Structure 1
Amino acid sequence: MDAAAKPVDWADRNWWRGATIYQIYPRSFQDTDGDGVGDLRGIEQRLDHIADLGADAIWISPFFKSPMKDFGYDVEDYTRVDPMFGTNEDFDAVIRKARSLGLRVMVDLVFSHTSDRHPWFQESRLSRDNAKSDWYVWADPSPDGTVPNNWLSMFGGSSWRWDSQREQYYLHNFLASQPDLNLHNPEVQEALLDVLRFWLERGVSGFRFDVINFYFCDRYLRSNPPLPRELRNDSIAPSVNPYNHQLHLFDKNQPENLDFLRKLRAVMEPYAAAAVGEVGDAQRGLEIMAEYTTGNDKVHMCYPFELLQPKKLTAPLLEETFHRMNRAAPDAWPCWAYTNHDTVRLPTRWNASDAALRSYAVLLMCLRGSACIYQGEELGLPEAELAYEDLQDPYGKEFWPQFKGRDGARTPMAWTQGTNGGFSTAQKPWLPVVSTHLERAVETQAGVPGSMLEHYRKALRLRRDYPTLRHGAMDALWTQGDLIQFLRLGVETIFCAFNLGDGTVEARPPEGNWMVMGTDTGAKPPAASVTLGPWEFCLARRV
């Protein structure tokens, strides 16, 4: 096993630069106890697949004790594994197995809000003067009894919920059962830093911070201004959600966040741990990502939504993305992702052919930054089509049928073509395994030349074999039509050219002697002028 044999420097503080991180959605990865829901023992059992793929780390979506109204992103206890997923000792076993395979483990922490069942909230709502009364965002009603301002929930409707016990409203940017923490309170910050310390002591190598730009809201609870129709973008919320009708100046993206990010970084530093933050913003995502990752004193990397949005990736869009990022902060470090548990899977979202998927995979490995791969992406899985009665996601139920929610990207992993794709022995898993996924199961692709899985293994190996692709600078970015080409500069110079379209383009490497690389991924050799057919690419290093 290549990944297991590769030595790992566990004290390397820069391991995250250029790393490939594999996201695991634990409910849907592998069920070992037959209840139809994935668990930590299932993750331990399947880690070899990720090591064989060539990833450097895994990111596990929340597995903490939770009422599961938002499937783990509503945390009831930050330091206890939910019995649905196993025990804290099962998590320790995942850490041990991962380390034996050369894989680092990152856990997904939700610090902007908790479940309404969290003991902190249960105490906070008792009165206006108890020890935790100020641990959440509470506000008096407007004079006429209505909500304090015009802020909207990501899941639809007002982001304020009336609590009859305190006779005040509390803020919830997501479900009403997910009250927002008040991070303006130093005690709340310290409690969250203690959560960080708990998992670091347990052996984790880093974190994925959910909605990192939602940590603070405006102290004065000022209303957001309207957003002109022509500027609305459905990359964060679907167009049927009125959330898109506001410019979110005051309910997130507050300057106080920077000091708290510095505190997070300070706690992680002694452990050589790293973090990737999710920046949920349709208007200023790249600029916020740049702000949060510069200076080596805040989070290490963030992923914005430019490659996660419904709009298909084009050469001009990619060029604009990098130019915007460089203008905001040249030393910002992105973590690129095409898909995750919240987005429509890539083949469906961009109507991408297998040829396009192969090109996108290699492109991801060639871009400056780190990369996230979501479970099943390496199989080329399309979005699962589900009936309404199969839906579990409250977001989808709210906006059905115009928006079908996130369940289509969360169905169980297809390991075999057998019952439930080898995911579970349960008669009915929490979400069904669809036939289009069984056709692309791991067992049907592993070891098969030309399969999507084998192509992803080669693409990830390409990045491991050439340190410049992991750590190097990016220069000479240039586009023409569907062609994008650029240089990666480091211990060597690498030329990359991609045809992101169905036509034919001509790529032209700079003058010099070039040698082809990545031929096993399908890369074409260099020449003075390289003809690239639909979705073809050229990779070469200067000799």
Structure 2
Amino acid sequence: MTTFLQHPANQSDPDWWRGAVIYQIYPRSYQDSNDDGIGDLQGIISRLPYIADLGVDAIWLSPFFKSPMKDFGYDVSDYCDVDPMFGTLDDFKMLLKKAHGLGLRVVIDQVMSHTADVHPWFIESRADKVNPKADWYVWADAKDDGTPPTNWMSIFGGSAWQWDTRREQYYMHNFLTSQPDLNFHNEEVQLALLEAAQFWLDLGVDGFRLDTANFYVHDQLLRNNPPNGRPKEADGSAPSSNPYAWQKHVYDKSQPENIVFVQRLRQFLNRYPGIMTVGELGDDDSIGIMVAYTEGGDKLNMTYTFKLLGEMHKGVWVRNAIEEYELRAKEGCWPSWPLSNHDVMRLATRWEADDAALRTYAAMQLCVRGSPCVYQGDELGLPEAELTFEQLQDPYGITMWPAFKGRDGCRTPMPWAKNELNAGFSRAEKTWLPVAETHFDLAVDQQSHANSLLSHYQNCLHQRKQLPVLLKGTMQVLPAQDDIFAFVRAFEGKRLLCVFNLAATPTTYRLPNDAVIQAFADFPQTELAAGIGQKDLVLSAWQTVVAWIE
């Protein structure tokens, strides 16, 4: 009989992920346990009670595998081991056991599209054109004039092709030159990646966040991407100052064969009850690809894009994006709507949100259909950290400075205690990135009172668990009115009206013709000027209303 080490409830509730709230941890910056200035697995273990008390259902760990750390773990050199910087495999096993004991599932990052250039696979592949792994990466001859085989661009700047003198060929890299792309047209590559996933499944992980999940397969004919023109602003996947955004990415990613592999991965994972997959998708049609990668129930469990992670995307933009998804969604589709992560400017700064706005965005994120993903520190309202060029660690930011400052500003250490060294993150004299001065007053120990943003998150998360309609229910977006985002969640014959004023000015919301408020739900909200039996809701700035309706 097969023994599964995943969360004990996965077999009885394989759809646990539907409506679950996921808390993203960036291990380098969460908690340092050995005073080297870098967060680690033992540090995360020590903070698991805090995460459980917060009220989330699962944690997502950004990569902690062996890596040269040129892209801070997203350049993997060994898929089946822990980098000594973060600890050992035994530490990870302990983390799994402790998390499961607290009722938390554990989701880990899987970086399948590329490896580090020091991975043994690539070292063998680049040696010559006839070795057993010669075709494991994307290699191509130069054009007759010596230039790269296509016009494809790297997200991190410049061509997506790097010349290699050993093979006298170019290899493809969507990111750093030290992150060569694997060749998914090779059956052996797919099998090797499935084996790597199985390694972690056998240890007991409950799911995978799939990095760049639509980047796996490239066009074998190596056709050039058509121009897109310089956009006025990016959708989050690349800043408008980055020429990557100036192409329509027709051939370098999102190929039909990519979905075929995702279906194969899903079939493989189905051998383990209750395993969840959430895919990161960056594409020109960000909503359409979310639908394509989840429809039918035979692909990913859920997906997210950068649609809500771009610059100044708020208010009406949020409503329109989610409405577009709900209109285009098909059977089997389930979204995840993060408002922040380790790749984009922090929410408070990106959307210029004060405490009142952050409370409303939190409530909104936890009420829309889907499985929300909360990035560490969002529950504290942390703003983007301001760093000097000399303090930068992110190669993306170093290359694109000063128009784009990279991702370090959202990756600085978590502040735990205002009056401790490095805000309680580490006892080291110097941390890998400095703790932002603006974060000390927002530390966890400074928000242990009932009126804090942290308490608001806790209240919303705990109340959400008591409302099955918010976990499993359908969603109907209501007609637009000013800066109001309103929708109805329905489940087992009950209907819940959710109204959010996404503006700093008061307004009045006219209820739909068939809506009559029966009672206000037990969910964090402010007092109303009009209530039960009224057709108009008078909303103050940034007000949330959650109510049962007929």
What CA deviation, in whole Å up to 9, does each residue of 1:120-155 have, x standing for no partner?
Answer: 000000111111000000000000111111000000
- Work out whether residues 365 and 462 of structure 1, in 8 Å CA contact, stay in contact via their aligned partners in 2: no
Change (3 A) 1:42 1:531: same
- Is the 1:415–1:443 Cα contact (8 Å) retained in structure 2? yes
| Conserved 8 A contact 2:58-2:106 | yes
Query: Does the 8 Å contact 1:316/1:479 carry over to 2?
Result: no
2:413 aligned partner, one-letter code = P
2:394 matched to 1:393?
A: yes
Q: How far is the alpha carbon of 1:462 from its aligned partner?
A: 2.2
Query: Deviation at 1:330?
Result: 5.5
1:421 to 420, 423, 428: 423
1:73-108, Cα deviation, whole Å (9 max, x unpaired): 000000000000000010000000000100000000
Cα deviation for residue 323 of structure 1 reads 2.4
Letter paired with 1:394: P
Which residue of structure 2 lines up, in the alignment, with residue 339 of structure 1?
Answer: 340
TM-aligned CA distance change 1:444 to 1:148, over 3 Å: same
1:232/1:438 CA distance change after superposition, 3 Å: closer
* SS of match in other structure, 1:295: helix
* Cα deviation, residue 231, structure 1: 7.3
Distance 2:76 2:315 in 1: 38
* Bigger Cα displacement from structure 2, 527-536 vs 347-356: 527-536
Equivalent residue number for residue 238 of structure 1? 239
Determine if the alignment matches structure 1 residue 219 to structure 2 residue 220. Answer: yes
In 1, are the aligned partners of 2:126 and 2:167 still within 8 Å (CA)? yes
Query: What is the correspondence of 1:313-324 to structure 2 with a 5 Å cutoff?
Result: 313-315=314-316, 317-324=318-325
1:518 maps to a residue whose letter is D
Alignment-derived partner of residue 531 in structure 1: 538
Q: Which residue of 1 aligns with 2:126?
A: 125
Instruction: Check the 8 A contact 2:124/2:131 in 1, yes or no.
Output: yes
Superposed counterparts of 1:201-280, under 5 Å? 201-229=202-230, 233-271=234-272, 272-280=274-282
Inter-partner Cα distance in structure 2 for 1:407 and 1:230: 24
Question: In the alignment, is the contact (CA less than 8 A) between 2:48 and 2:99 conserved in 1?
Answer: yes
| 1:277 counterpart SS class | strand
CA contact under 8 A between 1:494 and 1:541: conserved in structure 2? yes
Q: For residues 521 and 460 of structure 1, do their structure 2 counterparts lie closer, same or farther at Cα, with a shift above 3 Å needed?
A: farther
2:547 is matched with 540
In the alignment, the residues of structure 2 paired with residue 44 and residue 307 of structure 1 have an alpha-carbon distance, to the nearest angstrom, of 30
Distance 1:407 1:320, change over 3 A: closer
In the TM superposition, residue 317 of structure 1 has moved relative to its aligned partner by: 4.3
Q: CA RMSD in A?
A: 1.5
- Which amino acid is 1:431 matched to? L
- Hey, what does 2:22 align to over in structure 1? 21
SS of 1:213 mapped into structure 2: coil
Q: Secondary structure at the match of 1:120?
A: helix
Please tell me whether residue 445 in structure 1 is matched to residue 452 in structure 2.
no
Task: Name the structure 2 match of 1:73.
Answer: 74
Runs of 4 or more, structure 1, over 6 Å off, are: none
Query: What is the Cα deviation at residue 476 of structure 1?
Result: 4.5
Q: Deviations over 1:5-32 (max 9, x none)?
A: xx97232110111110000000000000
Unaligned 5+ runs, structure 1:
1-6
Query: Which one-letter code corresponds to 2:496 in the other structure?
Result: I
Q: Bigger shift: 101-110 or 305-314?
A: 305-314
Change (3 A) 1:33 1:317: closer
Unpaired runs of 5+ residues, structure 2, are 1-6
Cα deviation digits, residues 227-265 of structure 1 (max 9, x gap): 034576352111221111100000000000111111111
**Structure 1 residues 93-492: aligned runs within 5 Å:** 93-229=94-230, 233-271=234-272, 272-281=274-283, 283-315=284-316, 317-327=318-328, 329=330, 331-417=332-418, 418-446=420-448, 448-491=449-492, 492=494
Which AA in structure 2 matches 1:203?
G
Question: How many angstroms does 1:400 deviate by?
Answer: 1.1
| 1:316 to partner: Cα distance | 5.2
Q: Which of 516, 522, 531 is residue 520 of structure 2 equivalent to?
A: 516
Question: Does the CA contact (< 8 Å) of 2:525 and 2:545 recur in 1?
Answer: no
Aligned residues of 1:135 and 1:185 also touching (Cα < 8 A): yes
Per the alignment, residue 9 of structure 1 pairs with: 9
* Aligned residues of 2:323 and 2:477 also touching (Cα < 8 A): no
Question: CA contact under 8 A between 1:523 and 1:537: conserved in structure 2?
Answer: no
Q: CA deviation at 1:331?
A: 4.1
Say if 1:196 and 1:267, in contact at 8 Å, map to a contact too.
no
What secondary structure is seen at the aligned counterpart in 2 of 1:463? helix
Q: Check 1:484–1:58 CA distance in 2 against 1; reply closer, same or farther (3 A cut).
A: same
Q: Is the 8 A contact 1:53 1:456 kept in 2?
A: yes
User: For the residues of structure 1 that align with 2:205 and 2:318, how far apart are their CA atoms?
Assistant: 36
Provide the rounded CA distance (Å) in 2 between the counterparts of 1:328 and 1:202: 34
TM-score by length of 2: 0.95
The answer (yes or no) to whether the contact 1:359–1:537 under 8 Å persists in 2 is yes
Residues in 1 aligned to 2:231 and 2:28: alpha-carbon distance in whole angstroms: 38
Aligned to 2:3: none
Residue in 1 aligned with 2:501? 499
Letter in 2 for 1:529: D
Q: Is the 8 A contact 1:286 1:325 kept in 2?
A: no
Name the stretch that deviates more: 523-532 or 245-254.
523-532
Q: 1:451 to 1:297 in 2, by over 3 A?
A: same
Corresponding residue SS for 1:214: coil
Letter in 2 for 1:459: C
Change (3 A) 1:116 1:51: same
Distance 1:199 1:404, change over 3 A: same
Q: Distance in 2 between matches of 1:521 and 1:30?
A: 33
The answer on whether the counterparts of 1:23 and 1:58 sit within 8 Å (CA) in structure 2 is yes
Task: Report the alpha carbon displacement of residue 304 of structure 1 after superposing the two structures with TM.
Answer: 1.2
The one-letter code of the counterpart of 2:391 is D
Q: Aligned partners of 2:89 and 2:18: how far apart in 1?
A: 29
Change (3 A) 1:529 1:521: closer
CA change 1:533–1:488 in 2 (3 A) is: same
Matched with 1:3 is: none
Query: Which whole-Å CA distance do the structure 2 matches of 1:94 and 1:521 have between them?
Result: 36
CA distance in 1, matches of 2:81, 2:128: 27
Q: Percent identity?
A: 52
